[in-house]
Each structure stands twice: as C-alpha cells, then as structure tokens.
Structure 1
Amino acid sequence: MAMKPSRGAGVWAVLCHSLLAAALVCSKNHGNPANDLVDMINKNRTALKLPVLNDSPGIGCMALQYIELCKGNCTNNIPHCKVPEDDFTEIFAPNCGVELPTFGTLTGQIVGCHSKYLEPSLAFSQVLVKDKTSLSLLRNKSHTEVGVGLVGAHKGPFFWCVLFSSDRANSTFVLEDQGVGIKQKKGCFSGSSNPCSGGLKRTAMLKNTLMTTLYCLCILLLHL
C-alpha cells in the first residue's frame, strides 16, 4: 500500500521549490552582465521607439580597456580618470585586436563606479543612468552601436563604461579573427560570450555555491 505524503512534506516541497526558483533567477545571468546592460540600454530605447543599437564586441573590448586605466580612482562612487584620445587607437584597439582600418567614430561615453558590485539592473539605474546628461546620451538618435565594459576587484570598487558609435553597424571596430585570441584576464565586455573573470567570476561562483547549498538543504528537509 503506497503511503500518502504528509501535509508537512508538501509544505516543505513548496518552500524548496520557491527557494530554488529564486536562486535560479539570481544566478542565471552571471555569465556576462555587460551583455545584460546592453539589453537594458536597448529596452530603454525601444520603449521610446528609438532604434536598437548593435552590440559591438570591438567597442565593448575598448570600453573595458578604458576603465582598466580608471581602477583605483573612485571616490564617493564617482570615477576620476582622464584617458587621452590617442590611447584608443594606439593602445585600446591593438590590445583588443581591432583592425585599425575599421576604426570608426566614437560619439559618446558613460563611465561610472561603485564601491561594490551591483547587479545589471542596479548598475544601470544607480551608476550609468543616474542623471539627465547620461540619459540624454543613451537616447541619442544618431547612435548605431554600443559596447559595455565592466571590471573590478573582489572587494571593489567596480567600474562600468559604455561607449557609443554612430558608424554603420557591423562595418566598424571589426575584431581580427572574430575576436579569437583576445584573452581578457579581468572583467568582461559586451558582445562576447566569454564569462567575466577576476573578481566578478568569484562573485558568480559564490552565488552558484549558494544555489547548490539551498538544493542540498531542500533534499535534506524533504527526507526528514
């Protein structure tokens, strides 16, 4: 004769399902939050019937190179760094493998920092689009391409950079061999399928560990 599950077991099952669902939501996008930020930028634009921006890995990689030079210069969640324009063609593009004949025109940038890592939605609202100037730049009708870079130490601060271009999409900032061979030791950039490395990777690992722990706890509770 089969035994019916107790009412208590049913309650634990529902609770465990809710816990695991929440953990999955928190951990499913920890591969590359720079890509998530590009999605948010485009959703903000399409809500106003503005064209979607092409996610350019070449621009994204240069955005990451840009903020690499800003690390350590964050006071009260305000970045303090000035990068010479020549660095884009002389340092950033070569480091990323951007084919110099395809180097186009960069038409705007948003740089922000925070003492700790923020999820993409919070980074978008609290770091990148926190005033009228950055919001106006994000909604500029002349933009055609965008790239996002993100880097930070394990305990912070973390830096975000968004670069825009008004060139013809997919014809500028082309990466040599489609980006093969670019090995970014820290941070991540949009347009790439590679997960974040360095401090961001450790943050994701901690959250994946949390999900595993919740799963094991649920198994234990259901067998009590």
Structure 2
Amino acid sequence: MRNLCIVECFLLCSSLFAVLVSSKYHGNPANDLVDIINKNRTAAKLSRLSDNAGLGCMALQFINFCKGNCTSNNNVNCNPSSDNFTEVFAPDCGVELPTFDTITGQIVACQPGYLEPTEAFSRALVPDKKTLSLLRNKSHTEVGVGMVGVHKGPFFWCVLFSNGKTNSTFVLENHGLGIKQKRGCFSGSSVECSRGHSNGAFWINVSFTLFFLIIYSVFSYRSVEILF
C-alpha cells in the first residue's frame, strides 16, 4: 500500500508538471491568427502571406498606441499617422529603416475580453465583407499580427499587410533579439509571448487541475485501504 501511495504521488506531480509545461509552451495566438488568415486566403485560391515579425511587432506597437480608444460598439477610434510608423513603431521594434516598405492595409479591432484565435478572427477582425475583401486583397504578400489586453479593460488586435518582398522588408535588427516585449504577442517572433491575456486564467486552470488530481489521489488511496 505504501508503494502504491508513492506511485500515486509521483503520478500527481508528473501530471501537474505536464500541465505547467503544456501551458507555458502552448504557442503564440498571434501566429495562430496568421494561419487562419492564410487558410481563408487559400480557400479563396489566393496565395499565402509571409508571416513577417517586423510587421507583427509594429502591429503590437500600433495597438499599444491605440489601446485607450475602444468605443462602446467595439471599434478602435484611433488612426496613427505614417510618421508614427517610421518614427515610433519601427524604431521601437528595431526595424531597420532601409527595409521599411509599403503597408497595404490594416485591420484593427477590440472586444471587452480575450477571444481565442478562431473566434477573434470571425467576431473581431473579419466581421463583414469589407474587412474580408481587405484580407483577400491580391496585392498583399506579407502579414503581421499584434495583440494585447488592457488590465481590467478591453482586448485589442491589429493586422498589418504589406506588398514587400519576403525576407527583405521590415527586417528586425539582430533578428529581433533586442526587442524587449513586456506585454502582448506578435506573430513571426521567437520572443516569449505572454499569450496576450492575463496569467490569472493560467493559474486558475492549474489550480483546478491540481484540485481534481488531489481528489483522484485521495479516492484512490481510500479504495486501497478498503481492499486491504
């Protein structure tokens, strides 16, 4: 019985460790949105867009700049000038200015809270034919997605498109390693992503998992006591 309890404890710790690891390395939802965008384009027999980290980082800067401007009907009432892109967003990201190219379109959206990528795509980013037409513009070659939440406030998404040449436009200095990303996510990046939403949800999930594992262990232990 003692050996069985040790096994139960080992399984409990292993399961919790697995939860922690899978949560930490679950992925970048900004990259998931790029995948959804490309699947929508290929379904319409259009070319896939290259996931550009420079564009993604500037998309994140864009919504950080605009995150106090979500209206009551979930529109982003903010329109940064072209100078903001070249003089603020690009330098803050470490985009090499000689590689800055034309931005052919942008989609910006906000919602009261975080939405999973599929729902964010359909409800926030592409809710109508106008934005769908922009997404399917044949001139686009590259895309970048940024996303961030406001503490106790709305959640923001931004998609930037470009017709630049893949691997030679919006290039990040030192491959983007010098960017200090504190909040939010952007696509095409290997920088650790906060997943854009509160870590509180993560710890709630861990707590529930731990609770059910402990209950399972206790009942298993009592079952062994009855058998013996």
Calculate the TM-score normalised by the size of structure 1. Answer: 0.81
Give the match's secondary structure for 1:62: helix
- Structure 1: distance between partners of 2:181 and 2:136: 29
The 1:118–1:217 alpha-carbon spacing in structure 2 relative to 1, beyond 3 Å, is farther
- Structure 2: distance between partners of 1:28 and 1:218: 24
Match of 1:50 in 2: 46
Of residues 124, 133, 140, the one that matches 1:143 is 140
| Residue identity matched to 1:123 | A
Give the aligned length. 202
Q: Per-residue CA shift, 1:64-107, capped at 9, x if unaligned?
A: 00011111211221111121111111011100000001001100
- Asked if 1:126 corresponds to 2:118, the answer is no
Q: What displacement does 1:40 show?
A: 0.5
- Structure 2: distance between partners of 1:111 and 1:215: 41
Give the match's secondary structure for 2:197: helix
Of residues 51, 68, 74, the one that matches 1:72 is 68
Alignment of 1:1-224 (within 5 A): 30-75=26-71, 76-197=73-194, 200-203=197-200, 205-206=202-203, 208-209=205-206, 210-224=208-222
Of residues 73-82 and 126-135 in structure 1, the stretch that sits farther from structure 2 once superposed is 73-82
Match of 1:13 in 2: none
Q: Could you tell me which runs of 5 or more consecutive residues in structure 2 were left unpaired when the two chains were aligned.
A: 1-15, 223-228
Give the match's secondary structure for 1:90: helix
Give the match's secondary structure for 1:82: coil
Q: Percent identity?
A: 64
Q: What displacement does 1:165 show?
A: 0.4
Q: Per-residue CA shift, 1:150-197, capped at 9, x if unaligned?
A: 011232201000000011111100000100110111111001123433
In the alignment, is the contact (CA less than 8 A) between 1:64 and 1:189 conserved in 2? yes
Calculate the TM-score normalised by the size of structure 2. Answer: 0.80
- Structure 2: distance between partners of 1:115 and 1:97: 31
Larger Rg: 2
In the alignment, is the contact (CA less than 8 A) between 1:35 and 1:190 conserved in 2? yes
| Residue identity matched to 1:51 | S
Give the match's secondary structure for 1:200: coil
In the alignment, is the contact (CA less than 8 A) between 2:147 and 2:196 conserved in 1? no
Give the match's secondary structure for 1:181: coil
In the alignment, is the contact (CA less than 8 A) between 1:67 and 1:160 conserved in 2? yes
Q: Could you tell me which runs of 5 or more consecutive residues in structure 1 were left unpaired when the two chains were aligned.
A: 1-19
Of residues 129-138 and 43-52 in structure 1, the stretch that sits farther from structure 2 once superposed is 43-52
- Structure 2: distance between partners of 1:88 and 1:215: 50
- Structure 2: distance between partners of 1:97 and 1:153: 24
Q: What displacement does 1:31 show?
A: 3.4
RMSD (Å), alpha carbons: 2.4
- Structure 2: distance between partners of 1:133 and 1:203: 36
The 1:133–1:102 alpha-carbon spacing in structure 2 relative to 1, beyond 3 Å, is same
